[in-house]
């Protein structure tokens, strides 16, 4: 995991994203020019051993930015409302 302010979480050291540029996980947007980075970050998360822990943390924390546990902020907003995710574009 590349986000220093979450280093206290036990699962952080096992995050696949530690091997990548942190900016990839904070795309400028999840549409338009940022879409490619967001999709790439989500693909990395799909292979991550601590995806579940990461996503649970992001949902608990109400993390408003970045890709966490394979979800964008928009995905997490849907999840918090218990709504189905929109179809991938
Ligand atoms: S799920 Fe994604 S953001 Fe979370 S630790 Fe794994 S690679 Fe990093």
| Phi and psi at residue 37, to the nearest 5° | -65, -40
Which residue, judged by its Cα, is nearest atom 2 of ligand 1? 45
* Residues 38-76 pLDDT 10s: 999 999 999 999 999 999 999 999 999 999 999 999 999
CA 14 to ligand 1 center in whole angstroms: 9
Please measure the distance between the N-terminal and C-terminal CA atoms of the chain and give it in whole angstroms: 27
Instruction: Evaluate if residue 17 carries a pLDDT over 50.
Output: yes
Sign of the Cα pseudo-torsion (55, 58, 60, 64, in order): negative
| Phi and psi at residue 68, to the nearest 5° | -135, 130
User: Whose CA is closest to 16, among 36, 38, 42?
Assistant: 42
How many Cβ atoms sit within 10 Å of the Cβ of residue 80? 10
CA 4 to ligand 1 center in whole angstroms: 13
């Amino acid at each position: 995991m590349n986000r220093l302010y979450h280093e206290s979480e036990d699962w952080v050291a096992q995050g696949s994203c530690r091997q990548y540029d942190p900016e990839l996980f904070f795309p400028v947007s999840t549409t338009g020019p940022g879409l490619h980075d967001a999709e790439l970050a989500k693909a990395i998360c799909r292979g991550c051993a601590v995806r579940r822990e990461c996503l649970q943390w992001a949902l608990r924390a109400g993390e408003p930015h970045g890709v966490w546990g394979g979800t964008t902020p928009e995905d997490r907003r849907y999840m918090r409302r218990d709504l189905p995710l929109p179809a991938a574009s």
